[in-house]
Amino acid sequence: MPIDYADYPSDWHEISRRIRFERAAGRCECEGECGAHPGVRCAAEHGQPHPVSGSRVVLTVAHLDHDTAHNADGNLKAMCQSCHLCYDAAHHARNARVTRARKAGQLMLPWVRGE
């Protein structure tokens, strides 16, 4: 699914590039936050075959608090697509639940929405 950049700052592409290629030097910064490799830094490098899946690595930038308006360096982490998807899985599932309920015309209670 394409990213809707409407919720990102106008300089997001520059921020993302700086995090991925200057700070992270083109390597995934995940140290187990994704749950796939606890306590060990992921060895994935941008443009190279992923060390586990063999697919070409696309380095992304994750918002650790899932808030696209919070772009402080400490809230951003360069992650390969695999780590980023694993890290965001629960957040995506929660959003999908809310969206499905809204489309069905149901009211979601705050604890179901994850608030």
In this structure, which amino acid lies at residue 97? Answer: R
The pLDDT tens digits for 45-78 are 999 999 999 999 999 999 999 898 999 999 999 9
Residue 39 burial (CB < 10 Å; 0-12/13-18/19+)?
A: exposed
Confidence of residue 18 (pLDDT cuts 50, 70, 90): very high
Element (H, E) at 76: strand 76-80
Q: Where are the alpha helices (DSSP H) in the chain?
A: 12-17, 81-103, 110-113
